[in-house]
Amino acid sequence: MSVLRPQPRPGVLEIEAYVPGKSKAAGAAKVFKLSSNETPLGPSPRAVAAYKAVAADLQNYPDGSASELRAAIGRAFGLDPDRIVCGAGSDDLLNLLARAYLADGDEAIHTTHGFLVYPIATLGAGARPVAAPETDYTANVDAILAAVGKKTKVVFLANPNNPTGTYISFDEVKRLHRNLPAHVLLVLDAAYAEYVRGNDYESGIELVATNENVVMTRTFSKIHGLAALRLGWMFGPAHVVDAVNRIRGPFNVNAPAIAAGVAAIEDLDHQERAREHNTRWLGWLNQEIGQLGLKVTPSAANFLLIHFPQAKGRTAKEADAFLTARGLILRRLGPYKLPNTLRMSVGTEEANRLVVAALKEFLGPWAQ
């Protein structure tokens, strides 16, 4: 390679660019996109109205500190708005945290099948991603702790994790934190917190509130149904908030997103409907797909990880082609090192029933 042209920093060209879920199915009359964990209920009508109302003022820069939105989030969760930073999706915040806390040669830990944004953000910051093995597709605190070394600066943990759907209990998160060196930043990504029903779960608020080295990130892309707007937030110690505020884009969150976010966070009925829908259909899908003889990893989020047999004609790749031809788009997980699985977002009743029927047809005599 010629040195007589600009070179990106070390690590950048090692990044496998993130591949979003497919949204097209050639030839299918109707398409059900179940590949990106979007909510089947859509956003709150109040959020849509608030978004539209901003259309008359697009010439104005947004409030760079997103004060109204931080205040609304603060009220909803009982948090100090000064300890909140908003971002263009939680992706923005995860990248800002990597940029603020990682330097060349540092290490950041994620779990084997952890969210792909972590190694991407880590490599983009010039640091090395280190994968800690999981147990039964679930984060293993001992394995994460064993991966911590002198160069470790950040631990990224999605809880629940995407694409596995599994989570670890608050006791386990606390044990992880307790055994981390004080200078290591623990990033708890709670993108799916609203869906979790287990009473041993906590999203991270309590740990952030009482420690100097824990941050929690949240998103408006999942239960709030605002993925298109790119909106997320983090709650952190004052010194981390200060560091992220110094490097973030001065207007990283746009005005329609701020307006829609305020309305969404205040629409508790809509959130509850989305949560109820998910609980009902997650359970149903788990049972129905399990009864076909396929292994399903127990999920606490709004999607399921379905394992396919290695048998020719019954593999995940072939299932994907079969489903896609019928307009049912699930997510293949090769980049997540899960080539024999498909991830399915919980959809509308219609979509869920169609997937189960199609899987049954696909498996044929193989199904139990």
Ligand X SMILES: *Cc1c(COP(=O)(O)O)cnc(C)c1O
| Shortest Cβ 217–ligand X spacing (Å) | 7
Residue 162 contacts ligand X per CB under 6 A? yes
3-state secondary structure 179-197: CCCCCCEEEEECCCHHHCC
Residue 164 contacts ligand X per CB under 6 A? no
Nearer to ligand X, 221 or 271 (CB): 221
| Shortest Cβ 78–ligand X spacing (Å) | 22
# of chain residues touching ligand X (CB under 6 A):
14
Give the footprint of ligand X on residues 224-243 (CB under 6 A).
227, 232
Give the footprint of ligand X on residues 190-209 (CB under 6 A).
191
Residue 158 contacts ligand X per CB under 6 A? yes
Of all residues in this chain, which one has the CB nearest to ligand X in the complex? 89
| Shortest Cβ 288–ligand X spacing (Å) | 24
Nearer to ligand X, 222 or 277 (CB): 222
H/E stretch holding 342 reads strand 338-345
Which range of residues in 78-86, 125-133, 220-228, 314-322 is near ligand X by CB under 6 A? 220-228
Interface residue with ligand X, options 35, 39, 44, 90 (CB under 6 A)? 90
**What's CA 115's distance to the chain center, in Å?**
7
Interface residue with ligand X, options 134, 189, 288, 320 (CB under 6 A)? 189
Half-sphere exposure of 36 (CA within 13 A, CB side): 15
| Shortest Cβ 89–ligand X spacing (Å) | 3
Nearer to ligand X, 39 or 140 (CB): 39
Lay out the site mask for ligand X across 111-150 (x = CB under 6 A, - = otherwise).
----x-----------------------------------
Interface residue with ligand X, options 39, 219, 286, 352 (CB under 6 A)? 219
Instruction: Look at residues 286, 297, 287, 309 and name the one whose alpha carbon lies nearest to residue 366.
Output: 309
Q: What angle do CA 254, 259, 262 make, to 5 degrees?
A: 120
Residue 338 contacts ligand X per CB under 6 A? no
| Shortest Cβ 151–ligand X spacing (Å) | 24
| Shortest Cβ 7–ligand X spacing (Å) | 28
Nearer to ligand X, 187 or 356 (CB): 187
Instruction: Note whether 341 and 305 are within 8 A (CB).
Output: yes
Lay out the site mask for ligand X across 276-295 (x = CB under 6 A, - = otherwise).
--------------------
Interface residue with ligand X, options 138, 221, 297, 341 (CB under 6 A)? 221
Instruction: Look up residue 65 and give its DSSP letter.
Output: T
Tell me the C-alpha distance between 312 and 9, whole Å. Answer: 43
Tell me the C-alpha distance between 144 and 132, whole Å. Answer: 5
Backbone angles phi, psi at 170, to 5 degrees: -60, -35
Rounded (10°) CA dihedral 313, 314, 315, 316: 120
| Shortest Cβ 111–ligand X spacing (Å) | 11
Instruction: Look at residues 357, 363, 294 and name the one whose alpha carbon lies nearest to residue 328.
Output: 357
3-class DSSP assignment, residue 175:
helix
Interface residue with ligand X, options 43, 89, 129, 165 (CB under 6 A)? 89
Nearer to ligand X, 62 or 165 (CB): 165
Instruction: Note whether 178 and 77 are within 8 A (CB).
Output: no
Tell me the C-alpha distance between 1 and 274, whole Å. Answer: 51
Tell me the C-alpha distance between 234 and 186, whole Å. Answer: 13
Instruction: Note whether 226 and 82 are within 8 A (CB).
Output: no
236 φ/ψ sector (left φ>0, alpha ψ -120 to 50, else beta): beta
The residues of the shown chain that bind ligand X, judged by CB under 6 A, are 37, 89-91, 115, 158, 162, 189, 191, 219, 221-222, 227, 232
